[in-house]
Structure 1
Amino acid sequence: MASNSAAVFGSTGLVGSYILSNLLATGPFKPVHTVGRRPPKATSPNLNSIIDADVTKWPAALTGISPAPHVAFSAIGTTRAAAGGIENQWKIDHDLNVEVARAAKQAGVKTFVFISSVGSDGFLASTSPYSKMKKGVETTVRELEFDHGIIVRPGLILGEREDKRFAEGLAMTFARGLGFLGLKDSFAQDAEVIARAAIRATQLADEGKAPSKFWVLGQGDIIRLGRTEWESKEEPKEEQK
């Protein structure tokens, strides 16, 4: 196992692309592997992209990486419309994520990070198909008993997607309007902030500062780790310029 390497699934999606770009820009993970249908937009000498249109081969691609990554991030996800129905969405949002998590455990990955969603616990977890998918993956990550299993539960994700979603666009406009009232952070988070929170959580886990082996980041944790603490760590670098 390479103690400072990472693998990213979903690296061409909104949150996954920010996870990748921030890993490449800030380290300390080298190399960074991606597994996906198409190459990511980011480029770097430290980037190794595995391209396969057959998603069923992605778990095997992870176990085939040698040495095994220290940490794996999964931001795999789609919509019901893009998948062509709830059954096909389940195959991606639940089944594929579960198989990737199992492959990560088999490969010897120490820290596994899953980008989930608010509502994956509580009432929605038993009534909403989307929340059931996320909850099922979370349960698998817990049961696999990684050295650290990290679940990130953002609210509405803010950012520019390649595939425009009308209803989501309206919600984003509403969320940005809440910013004038100081209420946005409790409803929505920027994709890059979510990505940075995920990365920062793995760093804290490596430093022995995670609150538990199975760590769930709520929206407040995302803001704290991905914006407040991240920016405070960057400030000394800015002063040296």
Structure 2
Amino acid sequence: MRAIILGATGAIGKDLVQELINDDTIEQIAIFVRRDPGINNEKVTTHIVDFDQSDKWRLSVQGDVVFSCMGTTRKAAGSKENQYKIDYTYQYNFAKIAAEQGVPSFVLVSAAMANANSHFFYTRIKGELEEAIKQLPFQHISILRPPVLIRKNTTRSSEKLSVSILQFFNKIGLLQSQRPMKTEVVAHCMVELAKTEKSGVFEPKDIFKIGER
């Protein structure tokens, strides 16, 4: 299998790259990034691109499956407009190009409670992206909606607080459907869905079932 990764430098993306490197069924890994992450492996080809200039790299989008786990926060992006560009525009444009190039499968990391009609900006972006991706002519589309993530070495104080609160409630038997999830669980689930060619929307309980080892 020839894999393409969008978002390889993020928390899930890093685990996904390692998962694919360690998988003997994966022959090639093409990552599309804005900055060189310095991955030194014979399987990995790094494409350093400007996502606003797709004409320069669109023909390089060749493979069997796209794994899309690009994302940011409003704080990191600097504005709602920039967050929308990264979380929606770049991913949708890449998916559209992949479909045009004949890539048969697309695996997308969305978010819990994603809804195109949501009153909340973040979940609305994710919902809009899901709906747009579903309209593209892929043979297989897998959409993952993970809960709050446990990221390695995170510096996000709000994320640490959310994880701690949820874990407290989980210990007393509450909010089990939204218990925090390790990024490596998401990465493993993504690979398994691609290999089994399963389509559909996968909620936290589904991701835990498929991704935990």
Whether the TM-score (by the shorter chain) exceeds 0.5 is yes
Counterpart for residue 236 of structure 1: none
- Give unmatched runs, 5+ long, in structure 2: none
Pair 1:18–1:59, CA change in 2 (3 A): farther
Counterpart for residue 85 of structure 1: 79
CA-CA distance at 1:225 after TM superposition: 0.6
CA distance in 2, matches of 1:196, 1:178: 26
Q: State, as a whole percentage, how many aligned pairs show the same letter.
A: 27
Partner amino acid, structure 2, of 1:87: E
> Helix, strand or coil: the match of 2:52?
helix
Is 2:196 the partner of 1:199? Answer: no
Is 2:56 the partner of 1:64? Answer: no
CA distance in 1, matches of 2:14, 2:47: 15
CA-CA distance at 1:183 after TM superposition: 5.7
2:103 paired residue among 88, 109, 112 = 109
Give the TM-score normalised by the residue count of structure 1.
0.81
The 10-residue stretch of structure 1 (24-33 or 217-226) with the greater mean CA deviation from structure 2: 24-33
Is 2:64 the partner of 1:73? Answer: no
Is 2:210 the partner of 1:225? Answer: yes
Pair 1:219–1:65, CA change in 2 (3 A): same
The 10-residue stretch of structure 1 (166-175 or 218-227) with the greater mean CA deviation from structure 2: 166-175
1:215 paired residue among 197, 200, 211 = 200
RMSD: 2.0
Pair 1:110–1:182, CA change in 2 (3 A): farther
1:126 paired residue among 118, 124, 127 = 118
Identify the structure with the greater helix proportion: 1
- Give unmatched runs, 5+ long, in structure 1: 232-241
Is 2:20 the partner of 1:28? Answer: no
Pair 1:222–1:108, CA change in 2 (3 A): same
> Helix, strand or coil: the match of 1:56?
coil
1:40 paired residue among 37, 41, 46 = 37
Give the number of aligned pairs.
212
